[in-house]
Amino acid sequence: MSISNFPVSTTMTTEQALASVQKQAKDLKKVIVVGEYDDGDLFIQSSRMSHAEALWLVERAKTHIFK
């Protein structure tokens, strides 16, 4: 497994990050988008997957974030 474009940029805007993902969309099997509104509320959107699959994907990402 490889991780693309991580760690995240501290200067990339939301629009730039989403545009970057859009370029790779055809190659991605599953996707979860996690964002935060100005008031701190979360925004979460995923492609077609179960809750269990979403949790597994998030946990896999988490292990790479903390390496």
- Does residue 36 lie within any of the structural domains? yes
- Does residue 56 lie within any of the structural domains? yes
CA dist 66 and 13 (Å) reads: 23
Q: Containing domain of residue 56, as a range?
A: 27-65
- Does residue 10 lie within any of the structural domains? no
pLDDT, one tens digit for every residue, the chain (67 residues): 565 555 567 888 999 988 988 888 888 899 999 999 999 999 999 999 999 999 999 999 888 878 7
- Does residue 17 lie within any of the structural domains? no
Number of domains in the chain: 1
- Does residue 15 lie within any of the structural domains? no
Q: Is the whole model's pTM more than 0.85, yes or no? A: no
- Does residue 5 lie within any of the structural domains? no
